Chain A
């Protein structure tokens, strides 16, 4: 942890604020960020590659972080922006490559046991619906339904009021159910 001292220009104003070093942020948050990337991006994205991109940005932007927001909120916003950009690029690339698959890698080092195949089928179906939702609905559902976070945590990450977040969840879920029925039919 790098604690601001008296010599720092902001020491007088933010004397209690501690700015963590990149190593600390990386060690403590890399898996959280990787899961956000996997869940927000879906099967279309390479989790390792996008996580790397997020931490390149963290490395660049961390000195400017002034702890006006929570570190996790800042990291989530950085991750969501990176994932959104990469999804757009990937969609564009796939459009020109005319790839027939949904982005799921079949050949990797995992054993393709029946349960793995089932999990991938469910994943494909889940993202076929999520891809048709708005970015905000997607984020709300990922944080509530996949991450299992509390209303307070989701409100903090999305920077909205706690009461509003439940309304957002209810609406997003209703839209998801409607689209799921459409996709299944």
Chain B
């Protein structure tokens, strides 16, 4: 270090001393704070730290839960679907006509008439055919209904 440098350093230390700016009333002000509440900034600091910690911990927990769920979905055992398992519900659905479908209802009535005729219940078959005619006067299964009626012999 040259003498000029040393001089410059000394001058800077002499000019920029912040110790000279310490207010004279500082002891009274700090004493007042110490008596009113011993460690206000300490409490605020800890409150802030606790809040940040809580937020971080909950985010980490949620992230971990997400990862766990995603992992479980990836590694979940695959269930082999047998044809039999699929067949029965499909069959049930096909057997039960949807209420909103008029053709299906008409077909059901014709089928019930045919089944009754096969059982020998001619009156039952005719009742079903009458019911069909009443509910669906312009039904699409008129030819089929006529065929069943002709087999009833009346």
- Inter-chain contact count A-B, CB under 8 Å? 96
In residues 25-41 of chain B, which contact A (Cβ within 8 Å)? 26-27, 29-31, 33-34, 38-41
Which of chain A's residues 135-153 have a Cβ closer than 8 Å to chain B? 141, 145-147
Q: Is the beta-carbon distance between B26 and A177 smaller than 8 angstroms? A: no
A131 within 8 A of B: no
User: How far apart are B80's CB and chain A's nearest CB, in angstroms?
Assistant: 55
Interface membership of A20, Cβ < 8 A: no
Question: Does B9 have its Cβ within 8 Å of any Cβ on chain A?
Answer: yes
Shortest distance between the CB of B96 and any CB in chain A (Å): 66
Could you say which residues of chain B place their CB within 8 Å of the CB of A56?
34, 38-39, 42
With A30-B27, A122-B12 as given contacts, are A42 and B18 in contact (CB-CB < 8 Å)? yes
Of B20, B22, B41, which one neighbours A53 at CB under 8 angstroms? B41
Does any Cβ of B come within 8 Å of A21's Cβ?
no
A48: chain B residues within 8 A (beta carbon): 23, 26, 29-30
1/0 contact string of A37-63 vs chain B (CB within 8 Å): 011001100011101110110010000
* Contact (Cβ within 8 A) B10 A145: yes
- How many angstroms from the CA of A176 to the CA of B8 in the assembled complex? 11
- Which one of A43, A52, A119, A127 has the highest number of Cβ atoms from chain B below 10 Å of its Cβ? A52
Q: Assess whether B16 is in contact with A125, with CB atoms less than 8 Å apart.
A: yes
Which B residues lie within 8 Å of A55 (CB)? 30, 34
For A34, the chain B residues whose CB sits under 8 A away are: 22, 26-27, 30
A119 to B9, CA, bound (A): 15
Number of interface residues of A (CB under 8 A): 38
Looking at the complex, which one of B19, B31, B33, B41 makes contact with A35 (CB distance below 8 Å)? B19
Pick 12 A–B contacts, CB within 8 A, sort by A: A27-B27, A34-B26, A38-B22, A39-B18, A42-B18, A47-B21, A49-B41, A122-B16, A123-B18, A126-B13, A145-B9, A180-B8
Give the B-binding residues of A (Cβ under 8 A): 26-27, 30-31, 34-35, 38-39, 42-43, 47-49, 51-53, 55-56, 59, 118-119, 122-127, 129, 141, 145-147, 173-174, 176-177, 180-181
Q: Other than A47-B22, A56-B42, A181-B5, give 5 A-B pairs with Cβ distance below 8 A.
A: A26-B31, A38-B18, A59-B38, A141-B13, A177-B9
